[in-house]
A = this chain, B = another copy of it.
Amino acid sequence: MSTPTPPRGRATMKDVAALAGAGVKTVSRVINNEPNVTPAMAKRVWDAVRELDYQVDLQAGSLRRADGRTRTLGLLVGSVDNPFAGVIHRTVEDAAAEKGVAVFAASMDDDARRESDAVRTLLQRRVDGLILTTAVRRPEYLGTIRDRGVPVVYVDREPEGADLDTVASSNRAGAEAGTAHLIAHGHRRIALLADRLDLITAHQRHSGYLDALAAAGIPVSEEIIITELTDAEAGAKALSSLLALDDPPTAVFSAQNLITIGALHALRDAQLSHSVALVGFDDLPLADLVEPGVTVIAQDPQRIGVLAAERIFARLEGDHSAPVRMHVPTTLIPRGTGEIAPRRVSGGIR
């Protein structure tokens, strides 16, 4: 008979209106900070809101709202537990939260099927915009997205053909710089370890590697180019087999972070950490604490996220200019492994 019974269940705007002695539209005005409400009325409404612990139903609102916006963004990445994707996610989340927009994040594991399923789901949830990473060169769902009028920005990987906003690292230039760095340190027999070449990033990094060799007049040795490596273990195995060749590479360019980790393990196991040079694409946590430090081509996922968020919000605010393809520069961070001079490793003759 003293403590007022705490409100139970969810109150609706109608309940608030009733308690405040106002019409629902007035409550709506107050909740959404629309003009034309007297301070006195506003206070009565807010009191009722507090009393009932009322919270708007954003879903219901967007159903009727003129612009049809759900204040929701869809983000698709390889996996949300990948550090690179994590940084992009965080950056996008921050930009979105500032505008009262929430983010649905989904992982697709570089699988085309999971990718289109995820996009379909996101569309069914009526996200206002999409920030996507793709596993394929030409996503087949692009027509659907376009028909729905949902803006889309691709991050990390740029689809071919379609005219779309994209934000990605300078993969080719970065890989060329990394390979050139090894060449500058005297290497001519440089292995390449790369991911599935059907992924545009792997393809571009492969091209960059070839560019550097060509620029230096070094012929390509197919036997020390290993691709289709999808995890650290595969990377380790691949490098181990290369090191066992009669004429093993004196340096390695690893085109992806997991592969770099595998390569580091292989070198350590072969006790060649100080003899065979290594440059990896994408930075690694603790890369500076390993002995010798790991030389990498660092990407800038934060900048990628910031630019992608900017782009999608610009589109949402009506920017109809031509799509832009943005390339975020990479940075070579010399820490040790990339500066090892060539050394004959095993008993190659000659």
Q: Distance (Å) between the CB of A42 and the closest chain B CB?
A: 20
**In this assembly, does A79 line the interface, its C-beta being within 8 Å of a C-beta of chain B?**
yes
Q: Distance (Å) between the CB of A8 and the closest chain B CB?
A: 6
Nearest opposing residue in chain B for A114, CB measure: B97
Contacts of A90 in B (CB 8 A): 79-81, 107
**In this assembly, does A47 line the interface, its C-beta being within 8 Å of a C-beta of chain B?**
no
A102 touches B87 (CB 8 A): no
B81 touches A87 (CB 8 A): yes
The A62-102 residues at the B interface (CB cut-off 8 A) are: 62-63, 70, 79-83, 86-87, 89-90, 93-94, 97, 100, 102
A125 touches B58 (CB 8 A): yes
Which of A175-183, A239-247, A286-294 touches B?
A286-294
Contacts of A57 in B (CB 8 A): 63, 124, 126
Contacting residue for A70 out of B59, B97, B105, CB 8 A: B59
Query: How many copies of this chain?
Result: 2
CA distance A149 to B104 in the complex (A): 23
A53 touches B147 (CB 8 A): yes
The A282-322 residues at the B interface (CB cut-off 8 A) are: 284-287, 289-291
B102 touches A125 (CB 8 A): yes
A9 touches B147 (CB 8 A): yes
**In this assembly, does A1 line the interface, its C-beta being within 8 Å of a C-beta of chain B?**
no
Nearest opposing residue in chain B for A291, CB measure: B291
Contacts of A39 in B (CB 8 A): none
**In this assembly, does A139 line the interface, its C-beta being within 8 Å of a C-beta of chain B?**
no
CA distance A57 to B59 in the complex (A): 11
**In this assembly, does A60 line the interface, its C-beta being within 8 Å of a C-beta of chain B?**
yes
Q: Distance (Å) between the CB of A268 and the closest chain B CB?
A: 7
**In this assembly, does A206 line the interface, its C-beta being within 8 Å of a C-beta of chain B?**
no
Instruction: Report the count of interface residues on A (CB-CB < 8 A).
Output: 57
B83 touches A81 (CB 8 A): yes
Contacting residue for A6 out of B80, B100, B143, CB 8 A: B143
CA distance A79 to B89 in the complex (A): 10
**In this assembly, does A265 line the interface, its C-beta being within 8 Å of a C-beta of chain B?**
yes
Q: How would residues 24 to 63 of chain A score, 1 for a CB under 8 Å from any chain B CB and 0 otherwise?
A: 0000000000000000000000000000010111111011
B124 touches A8 (CB 8 A): no
**In this assembly, does A7 line the interface, its C-beta being within 8 Å of a C-beta of chain B?**
yes
Q: Distance (Å) between the CB of A82 and the closest chain B CB?
A: 7
Q: Distance (Å) between the CB of A274 and the closest chain B CB?
A: 11
**In this assembly, does A264 line the interface, its C-beta being within 8 Å of a C-beta of chain B?**
yes
Contacting residue for A59 out of B63, B81, B121, B261, CB 8 A: B63
Q: Distance (Å) between the CB of A336 and the closest chain B CB?
A: 12
**In this assembly, does A120 line the interface, its C-beta being within 8 Å of a C-beta of chain B?**
yes
CA distance A265 to B284 in the complex (A): 15
In the complex where A83-B81, A126-B59, A144-B53 touch, is A261 in contact with B286 (Cβ < 8 A)? yes
- 10 extra interface residue pairs, beta carbon distance < 8 Å, beyond A57-B126, A60-B63, A83-B86: A8-B147, A55-B123, A57-B63, A63-B63, A103-B105, A104-B104, A261-B285, A265-B289, A268-B289, A290-B290
Residue positions of A touching B, CB distance < 8 A: 6-10, 53, 55-60, 62-63, 70, 79-83, 86-87, 89-90, 93-94, 97, 100, 102-107, 120-126, 143-144, 147-149, 261, 264-265, 268, 284-287, 289-291
Pick the 9 closest A-B CB pairs, nearest first: A81-B86, A81-B90, A286-B286, A291-B291, A80-B89, A81-B87, A59-B59, A58-B124, A289-B290
